[in-house]
Amino acid sequence: MAKVLMKGNEAIAEAAIRSGCRHYFGYPITPQTEIAEYMAKRMPKIGGVCLQAESEIAAINMVLGASSAGVRVMTSSSSPGISLKSEGISYMVGSDLPALILNVQRGGPGLGGIQPAQSDYYQATKANGHGDLHLIVLAPNSIQEAADYTSLAFELGDKYRVPVMMLADGALGQMMEPVEFKEVAETALPEKPWATTGTECKRKKNIINSLFIKPDELEVSVNERFDRYAEIEKNETRAEEYMTEDADIVIVSYGITSRICKTAITLARKEGLKVGMVRPITLWPYPSNTLAKVAKTAKEFLVVELNKGQMVDDVKISIECSRPVSFYGRTGGMMPTPEEILEELRKIGGRIE
Amino acid sequence: MTTKILIAGFGGQGVLFAGKAIAKMGMDKDMQVSWLPSYGPEMRGGTANCSVIISDDEEIGSPIVNIPDILFSFNIQSFDKFESTVAPGGILFADSALISKKSDRTDIKAFYIPATELASKNDLQGGANVIMLGKFVAESGLFDKDEFIDHMVSSIPATKAKLIANNRKAFDIGYNYKD
């Protein structure tokens, strides 16, 4: 298929439809409302459902219900709305239900602002709800990746029976770039023998539930899920390495910020600074092995994010504090310029001479 | 070569459309392109702008244009804010019907087109953005004239023949305009 010029939000919605998603439940919030608009236009024409719920809490519980019935389903929101969905997300994890949950992040805390941010990193990777849980967290950095990882999110969710979060931001949601869609055949959707689709008196009934009153039973259920998490960590960890082979300074950055860093790296290399980047694509599972490998030859790390340094600890743990790790970021909806990042790189360059 | 373009004015002047036309043209010529709008309350009558980057030889890093090679300015606010940020050797296109100031920079090329006035004189209300695109294509040397027009109107359904004709007319007025 030919390339089309599309906004990130629209491309994600289209990719979801092409991946067999026929159910969308959401509640409007800037900067991701185009997704609901797109779904409202397209879903009725293809026999799908787009429903604007009365709240984010209602929407996520509709997602829980639809997923229980075995269909591909998604919801989307932006930071404050994702907080509201947290309870439902935890219930979905506890019920082993796949779905795509998209967070087009904006500045926080509270109502915050509406401009791009990455300040929900902790929430997405550490505790998007209560209980022992993880979500697979995907962080695209272009519109093409946003479309591709939408398909991947549905595949991984179904494969491992876990909710998948895609962590985007206002800039990725609003910007347009060329995108090419992959068609997924409807017949390629996996069987879900666990779904509550009606027994027709032919099989034992399926039960979708996250309540286990007996502690020993709950422990078994959580342990079984953590076995799957171990499989996910083994098979699904993704990262991009960019010019790390000879790099003295390695930037660690994801999403839209990683692109600003690429421009900064080009500028730094022109000045003779050997800079590279590790870009985590899965924020959970975290690409610790890639960072540990790079730390063998790198001298210093610089984490760059649109927050106050939420990923720094993950980098330090990954490299077991074997190299200095510093941080540069903007927050509240502000974006750094490549020149600001270059200035940080110069400071580090001066130190390691 | 990578060209960074900033298009700025009021919401409703077709700032975002002009950027999209350039980005789409670039894409259809197999270039790398990105289009990033300002968004939020400023879209409702306030200032609006968009960053467009086109490149025929490299992946686009930051999609934000801080130092434009080409600036379109459709109001005095954006002129005051962005004129000083144009890269040396860059080009400024200003709607002189709405901006009485001139740039005193000697390291950039500046073109003053009374686009809003030309649009209303020729019964092309809302066509100032396309008039400016015409001048942009004439002066920037980035795209072929006929190719650009054909691509720009290709997204308009054939049933809206008048709209297609008006866009072609507006583009020609800008393309042929001399200071």
| Mean confidence (pLDDT) of chain A | 96
Q: Match 């109502």 to its residue by tokens.
A: A111
The pLDDT of residue A1: 63
Q: Match 């700032």 to its residue by tokens.
A: B15
The pLDDT of residue B155: 79
pLDDT in tens, A298-350: 999 999 999 999 999 999 999 999 999 999 999 999 999 999 999 999 999 99
Q: What percent of chain B has pLDDT over 70?
A: 97
* Three-state secondary-structure class, residue B33: strand
The pLDDT of residue A328: 98
pLDDT in tens, A221-274: 999 999 999 999 999 999 999 999 999 999 999 999 999 999 999 999 999 999
Q: Are A171 and B63 a contacting pair at CB < 8 A?
A: yes
The pLDDT of residue B12: 85
For B159, residues 6+ apart whose C-beta sits below 8 A from its C-beta are none
Strand order of the β-sheet with A249-252 is: A239-242, A275-280, A249-252, A300-305, A325-329
Residue A255 Rama label (left phi>0; alpha psi -120 to 50; beta): left
> In this structure, are residues B47 and B10 in contact, taking their beta carbons and an 8 Å threshold?
yes
**Domain spans in chain A, listed from the N-terminal domain onward:** 4-183+209-236, 240-352
Q: Match 């397209």 to its residue by tokens.
A: A42
Stretch (H or E) spanning A179: strand A176-179
The pLDDT of residue B160: 87
User: Beta-carbon neighbour count of residue A54 at 10 Å?
Assistant: 8
Which tops the pLDDT comparison, B88 or A183? B88
Closest C-alpha to A172, from A259, A91, A242, A280: A259
State the architecture of B2-176 in CATH terms.
3-Layer(aba) Sandwich (3.40)
36-55 of B, contacting A, C-beta below 8 A? 36-37, 39-40
Q: Answer yes or no: same fold for A4-183+209-236 and A240-352.
A: yes
| Burial bucket for residue A152 (CB in 10 Å: 0-12, 13-18, 19+) | buried
The pLDDT of residue B159: 86
Closest C-alpha to A224, from A93, A78, A341: A93
The pLDDT of residue B39: 78
CB pairs < 8 Å spanning A and B: 61
Residues of B in contact with A339 (CB under 8 A): 66
pLDDT in tens, B55-105: 999 899 999 999 999 999 999 999 999 999 999 999 999 999 999 999 999
The pLDDT of residue A250: 98
The pLDDT of residue B158: 84
pLDDT in tens, B100-127: 999 999 999 999 999 999 999 999 999 9
Residue B43 confidence (pLDDT) above 80: no
ipTM of the complex: 0.93
State the architecture of A4-183+209-236 in CATH terms.
3-Layer(aba) Sandwich (3.40)
| pLDDT grade for B47, boundaries at 50, 70 and 90 | confident
Topology of the domain covering A240-352: Rossmann fold (3.40.50)
Stretch (H or E) spanning B35: strand B32-37
pLDDT in tens, A186-234: 667 899 999 999 999 999 999 999 999 999 999 999 999 999 999 999 9
The pLDDT of residue B157: 84
**Domain spans in chain B, listed from the N-terminal domain onward:** 2-176
Q: Which of B23, B36, B37 sits opposite A5 (nearest CB)?
A: B23
Query: Closest-CA residue in chain A for B19?
Result: A176
pLDDT in tens, A49-93: 999 999 999 999 999 999 999 999 999 999 999 999 999 999 999
Measured CA to CA in angstroms, residue B10 lies from A4, B20, B24, B84 at distances of 27, 16, 22, 19
> In this structure, are residues A55 and A87 in contact, taking their beta carbons and an 8 Å threshold?
no
- Give CA–CA dist A31/A172, Å, rounded: 10
Q: Are B40 and A115 a contacting pair at CB < 8 A?
A: yes
